[in-house]
Amino acid sequence: MSLSNRHPLYTEFAQDWVTMRDTFRGSRVVKGKTITYLPPTSGMVYDGMMSTAQPGYQAYTAYLTRAVFPDFVAEAVEALLGTMHSRPPVIELPPQLEPLRERATINGETLEHLLRRINEQQLVAGRLGLLLDLPVVPDQAEPLPYIALYRAETIVNWDDNQPSGDMRPKLNMVVLDESELERRSDFSWETVEKFRVVALCDPDGRMSSAAGSLYATGLFKDKDAGYNPEGMVFPSIRGNVLDQLPFVLVNTKDLVSSPDDPPLLGLANLALAVYRGEADYRQNLFMQGQDTFVIIGDTGSIDDDTKRVGAGALLRLPQGGDAKYVGVGGSGLAEQRQALENDRNQAMVRTGALLHSGSAQRESGDALRIRVAAQTASLNTIAQSGAAGLEHLLRVAAEWVGADPMAVNVRPNLEFTENTLDGKSLVDIMSARTMGAPISLRSVHGLMRDRGLTKLEYEEELDEIESEPPPATGGGTEEGGDPEDEADPLADKKEDE
């Protein structure tokens, strides 16, 4: 079994992942692929653009340089990530896994940062993988597993079929491309191909999904040599082995093996369309400033370079001769400019820019939530599936170390709009309470706390109020009344409770 084989669905989605990676990385990468994303004009091809010595090559180089690639994808990913992580997620762990909260990956990332990277991969490629792995050289007597994130392109093969006829798919084999650059003794660098096999195996290391199969893994550097069962090992923690793969596939909508379409693929294609349109538009602008000087009736040599134009120049023409400039017309520039503007406006909608529009500050929280409900529906799904994937893997980790898997809970932030409580709204709530609305001061305080108006608990708030000096009364009450005769607002609050 050659490790270079690819799953059929991998082949189907690979080009979409390449497009998303390139547009996410931006102008340098997109322009670096030249004709892949910006085809030459027929004139450039006719002038020999494939040869550096031909005029077509210089023309295409200038055409490529003038083109502007818009960073729609990168801006959208950053904006959506900022929205998804405007509030921290809630992550609950059993005591045995608490160290993972601050160091979940081999690079020392926290679980919160890891969840952000998970969401980024969901937005860019629509797919990723998470693997529980053990450090090669543990720094503690009883090591904890760490979480390794694999991009969609590195998950090259997988299998979730059940030979026993079980209708519930169960992942039993995954091949991961871990190829990387390695430095040689002469300080040069070389790409070394490595493939990690993660599979359920029988005690002899042969792949098997039958009852009693255990998790095994192996790293193979020679992909052409094929899979060797003798290279598989059975990782364990304090003697505990797993009967399932500590690996989960995370898509935008679910945790199944079939990939989802990248959610921003339409935006990436739109960015490439704008890129090509910008190239043509700027090419036309350039050509309009490059009029050709034509002399009618001149009998001089073609190579004669004595002709000059401009102030102070003298041009001698034969009887009946003429001279003029001939240039490219600009009748289509307005349509090109309008088409580009329309594409850019459509891109702004696709990026979710309405979530942060300037008019949002003038809308009530309910109006804003209604306006963006359709746009945030997919964002909700991405956030929930990303959290579900992390939660699943952490529960496997809990089982591996002998902890309670159900003590693990990961709840993502799903509040994607600013939902602050302003003074007028608070006055309206208190007025409604005075008129008989069934809401207690504790509930009002809870609302204030949820909306960021205070960080104190209710009892702490009351203690703070009691410790404060009485509010200023402006030199006494009207008619010379005694301020001490006024009602005690704190006493009223306590009575209401």
Q: What is the pLDDT of residues 188-218, one digit of tens each?
A: 999 888 999 999 998 888 888 777 889 999 9
Quote the tokens at residue 267: 């935006």
Residue 469 has pLDDT above 90, yes or no: no
Q: What number is the average pLDDT over the span 439-448?
A: 87
Quote the tokens at residue 404: 């309670």
Does residue 173 form part of some domain? no
- Give the start-end residues of each E strand in 90-233: 90-92, 127-133, 146-151, 155-159, 173-177, 180-183, 189-192, 195-201, 214-220
pLDDT tens digits, one per residue of 317-357? 777 777 776 656 656 667 767 777 776 776 766 665 434 44
pLDDT tens digits, one per residue of 381-438? 999 999 999 999 999 999 999 999 999 999 999 887 666 667 788 888 888 888 988 8
Does residue 276 form part of some domain? no
Strand partners, 307: none
For residues 132 and 174, give the distance between their C-alpha atoms in angstroms, rounded to a whole number: 13
pLDDT averaged over every residue in the chain? 81
Strand partners, 464: none
Does residue 440 form part of some domain? yes
Specify the range with the lowest mean pLDDT, choosing from 6-10, 139-143, 385-389, 400-404.
Answer: 139-143
Asked if 158 and 257 count as a contact pair (C-beta separation under 8 A), the reply is yes
Position with higher pLDDT, 313 vs 302: 313
For residues 405 and 398, give the distance between their C-alpha atoms in angstroms, rounded to a whole number: 5
The segment with the largest mean pLDDT, out of 77-81, 334-338, 358-362, 467-471, is 77-81
Asked if 307 and 230 count as a contact pair (C-beta separation under 8 A), the reply is no
pLDDT of the residue at 387:
96
Tokens 């109006």 belong to 367
pLDDT tens digits, one per residue of 87-106? 899 999 999 999 999 999 99
Domain count, the chain: 1
Asked if 150 and 129 count as a contact pair (C-beta separation under 8 A), the reply is yes
pLDDT of the residue at 368:
47
For residues 60 and 32, give the distance between their C-alpha atoms in angstroms, rounded to a whole number: 13
Quote the tokens at residue 382: 């991405």
Distance from first CA to last CA of the chain, Å, rounded?
A: 72
For residues 218 and 228, give the distance between their C-alpha atoms in angstroms, rounded to a whole number: 9
pLDDT of the residue at 19:
96
- Domain hosting 447: range is 420-470
Q: Which residues contact 276 (CB under 8 A, 6 or more apart)?
A: 37, 38, 39, 67
Q: What number is the average pLDDT over the span 368-376?
A: 49
Does residue 444 form part of some domain? yes
Cβ count within 10 A of residue 78: 14
Does residue 462 form part of some domain? yes
Tokens 């696709």 belong to 350
Measuring CA to CA, which residue among 455, 491, 485 is closest to residue 473?
Answer: 485
pLDDT of the residue at 333:
66
- Give the start-end residues of each E strand in 235-313: 247-251, 292-296
**Which residue type sits at 282?**
R
pLDDT tens digits, one per residue of 255-295? 999 999 999 998 899 899 989 888 887 777 766 656 666 77
For residues 244 and 214, give the distance between their C-alpha atoms in angstroms, rounded to a whole number: 7
Q: Which residues contact 272 (CB under 8 A, 6 or more apart)?
A: 19, 23, 30, 37
pLDDT of the residue at 278:
84
Does residue 278 form part of some domain? no
For residues 290 and 286, give the distance between their C-alpha atoms in angstroms, rounded to a whole number: 7
Count, residues in the chain: 497
Does residue 464 form part of some domain? yes
pLDDT of the residue at 342:
72
pLDDT of the residue at 298:
65
Q: What number is the average pLDDT over the span 27-35?
A: 94
| pLDDT over 90, % of the chain | 39
What's 469's DSSP letter? P
Does residue 188 form part of some domain? no
For residues 152 and 18, give the distance between their C-alpha atoms in angstroms, rounded to a whole number: 10
Measuring CA to CA, which residue among 451, 450, 444, 447 is closest to residue 497?
Answer: 444
The segment with the largest mean pLDDT, out of 62-76, 349-363, 463-477, is 62-76
Confidence band (pLDDT; 50, 70, 90) for 460?
Answer: confident
